[in-house]
């Protein structure tokens, strides 16, 4: 079933211990949509400038992604640049040029409104909310946020996530949002804020899915080389929601859906791991569904006992 | 089958955000033996001073631990004190008074020599080796080490672990020993040093078992409260070797033994998690095998998909 993805489409400059790329396709919506496209019909809502290359539109289109909602306006595309530390666990932002993204007002094409699944990438909470209220046929809606919105837009953010089914954030954000250091307590507090499902991403250490009555933990995939972690969290989100959309996940039938949510976390982890194998979105140029399913089986093997 | 544990028996002073205890039973061999005692007949080799309390000997004896190899000499028992950071992921050592432990020469009672399993806690590599060579009926021998021996006693350490079946260390030690930041590469290098099995402990993030042809990853157990992480790694070691000794693990029948090694890692994780629930060894005063087996099943539930 069809999925709408809202967020940034950008150009990134990235430096890691493996090398440096001055300008390449990036942005949260890009990674989410590319990852989700292996599972379900994906429609993107974003804005780019008139410098956005046909080659990049072409990559998205080649994955069958609906670009009707990709608005093109005069000016430059959002640009972000960052540099990773030696162990890849930290990064320093070198540039954030919002450009056309500064005035981004998500416009939902008529053809998108009947979609059943919605993934709101990390943008201003009020904008995330403005999309959510325009969609009346949703089976599952949720998204991501970040420390900036948690600290400076708290009330707006709380009003936004109250209407979400799931929230996908990393561990430090979960601690900041909840005020608890302990992840079990943090999760319990966040599940009182509205979402029935919380996924805490832990980078190389995997992810945890929390629901009111249970949790599921997956360790991170051990890569031989992490080339570039940029987009891994968004690729996780795309794999997670993509798998649920592929299987028509619905909240009815809670017993079945818990297993499905766990498998969605595994597919999220699979997509995040592939993302790190090359710079930027490179890995998605060659990645196949067969490789994805094989890695899913690898997860089963190295976690079963 | 019987297990010999060699290492420190000590008094610890510990401060965590949950409180402070100035002097309580501690030491690697203490935690290893207590944890292993739930699975198999455990015999301890260690030294204490004449200040060692009957109550503490009593706790070890109450768990059926053979204390014939617990030497008592004039002087004070090894004392260690440390303070944990707010997030419990780091600690500062405040005192290390070796006392009678400075002259520790492990003496293996005649009755211990036929034991089939050997766990060498973190002590000087030459002393670990001196015990290993006295035991001729071993099915499985291995142990722990630390950054100090890796840096300043490297050759001695390499000669020691060459004769081990398994090495149990934490991730930073694995990186230091191997010279590789990436854990897969680190493991591959360490498996070339002798041991056929490597267990890398990752604190709250769980553990990884590496063998030449496969690996197994378990995430950490999510505790509501971590009271005191002291001894968690040693409790892990005790659960790991204890389970293998209980089932008479042998290297013959490699296919079977891989599943058993994975389950041993889970039992190690279970024992490490219980250890953190109270200060020092307190949790072992009340812990039952039924609680241990119930938590093993919890691991199965929160990791299965």
Distance from CA of A59 to the nearest CA of B (A): 31
For residue A93, count CB atoms less than 10 angstroms from its CB and return exposed for 0-12, middle for 13-18, buried for 19 or more: exposed
Name the token pair of A221: 């995939």
CB nearest B262 (choices: A86, A224, A305): A305
Distance from CA of A84 to the nearest CA of B (A): 15
Rounded distance, CA A185 to CA A177, Å?
12
| pLDDT tens, position by position, A27-50 | 999 999 999 999 999 999 999 999
Residue A185 forms contact with B (CB below 8 Å): yes
Mean pLDDT computed over A134-161: 96
Residue B138 has pLDDT above 80, yes or no: yes
CB of A101 closer than 8 Å to CB of A47: yes
Residue A214 forms contact with B (CB below 8 Å): yes
Distance from CA of A277 to the nearest CA of B (A): 14
Residues of B in contact with A225 (CB under 8 A): 182
Residue B188 has pLDDT above 80, yes or no: yes
Residue A288 forms contact with B (CB below 8 Å): no
pLDDT band at A209 (very low <50, low <70, confident <90, very high): very high
What are residue A120's DSSP bridge partners? A6, A143
Rounded distance, CA A145 to CA B14, Å?
38
Residue A256 has pLDDT above 80, yes or no: no
Distance from CA of A186 to the nearest CA of B (A): 10
CB nearest A206 (choices: B182, B184, B219): B219
pLDDT band at A216 (very low <50, low <70, confident <90, very high): very high
Nearest chain B residue to A261 by CA: give it.
B305
| pLDDT tens, position by position, B226-246 | 899 999 999 999 999 999 999
Mean pLDDT computed over B28-48: 98
Mean pLDDT computed over B78-86: 94
Contacts of B64 (CB under 8 A, 6+ apart): B37, B41, B42
Nearest chain A residue to B203 by CA: give it.
A205
At A258 the pLDDT is 84
At B252 the pLDDT is 66
Rounded distance, CA A277 to CA B140, Å?
38
Q: Does B305 sit within 8 Å of A266, measured CB to CB?
A: yes
pTM for this model (two decimals): 0.95
Name the token pair of A141: 């809606």
pLDDT band at B87 (very low <50, low <70, confident <90, very high): confident
Residue A253 has pLDDT above 80, yes or no: no
Judged by phi (left if over 0) then psi (alpha if -120 to 50, else beta), residue A293 lies in alpha
Residue B302 forms contact with A (CB below 8 Å): yes
Nearest chain A residue to B258 by CA: give it.
A305
Residue A213 forms contact with B (CB below 8 Å): no
| pLDDT tens, position by position, B195-226 | 999 999 999 999 999 999 999 999 999 999 88
Residue B256 has pLDDT above 80, yes or no: no
**DSSP-derived pairing of the beta strands A91-97 and A79-84:** antiparallel
What are residue A243's DSSP bridge partners? none
- Residue (of A162, A144, A137) closest to A248 by Cα position: A137
| pLDDT tens, position by position, A96-119 | 999 999 999 999 999 999 999 999
Q: Does B216 sit within 8 Å of A303, measured CB to CB?
A: yes
Contacts of A211 (CB under 8 A, 6+ apart): A191, A196, A197, A198, A258, A261
Write out the H or E segment, with its range, that includes residue B5: strand B3-6
DSSP type of residue A163: T
Contacts of A75 (CB under 8 A, 6+ apart): A49, A50, A99, A100
Q: What percent of chain A has pLDDT over 90?
A: 92
CB nearest B219 (choices: A87, A217, A266): A217
What are residue A210's DSSP bridge partners? A198, A215
Residue A110 forms contact with B (CB below 8 Å): no
Residue B216 forms contact with A (CB below 8 Å): yes
| pLDDT tens, position by position, B119-133 | 999 999 999 999 999
- Which of B185, B204, B208, B219 would you mutate first to test chain A, the one with the most A CBs within 10 A? B219
| pLDDT tens, position by position, A270-304 | 999 999 999 999 999 999 999 999 999 999 999 99
At A254 the pLDDT is 59
Q: Does B259 sit within 8 Å of A218, measured CB to CB?
A: no
């Amino acid at each position: 079933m069809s999925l709408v993805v809202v967020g940034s489409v950008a150009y990134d400059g990235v430096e890691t211990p493996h090398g440096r790329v001055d300008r390449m396709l990036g942005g949260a919506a890009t990674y989410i949509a590319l990852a989700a496209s292996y599972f379900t019909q994906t429609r993107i809502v974003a804005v780019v400038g008139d410098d956005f290359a046909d080659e990049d539109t072409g990559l998205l289109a080649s994955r069958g992604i609906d670009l009707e909602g990709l608005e093109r306006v005069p000016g430059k595309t959002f640009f972000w640049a960052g540099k990773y530390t030696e162990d890849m666990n930290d990064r320093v932002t070198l540039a954030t040029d919002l450009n056309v993204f500064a005035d981004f007002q998500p416009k939902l094409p008529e053809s998108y409104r009947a979609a059943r699944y919605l993934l709101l990438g990390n943008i201003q909470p009020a904008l995330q909310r403005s999309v959510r209220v325009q969609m009346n046929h949703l089976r599952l809606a949720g998204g991501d946020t970040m420390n900036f919105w948690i600290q400076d837009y708290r009330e707006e953010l709380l009003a936004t996530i109250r209407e979400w089914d799931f929230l996908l954030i990393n561990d430090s954000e979960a601690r900041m949002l909840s005020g608890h250091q302990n992840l079990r307590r943090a999760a319990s507090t966040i599940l009182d804020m509205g979402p029935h499902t919380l996924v805490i991403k832990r980078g190389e250490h995997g992810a945890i899915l929390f629901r009111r009555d249970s949790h599921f933990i997956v360790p991170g995939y051990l890569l031989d080389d992490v080339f570039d972690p940029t987009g891994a969290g968004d690729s996780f989100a795309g794999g997670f929601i993509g798998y649920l959309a592929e299987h028509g996940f619905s909240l009815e039938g809670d017993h079945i859906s818990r297993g499905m949510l766990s498998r969605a976390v595994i597919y999220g982890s699979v997509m995040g791991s592939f993302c790190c194998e090359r710079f930027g979105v490179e890995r998605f140029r060659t990645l196949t569904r067969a490789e994805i399913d094989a890695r899913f089986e690898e997860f089963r093997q190295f976690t079963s006992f």
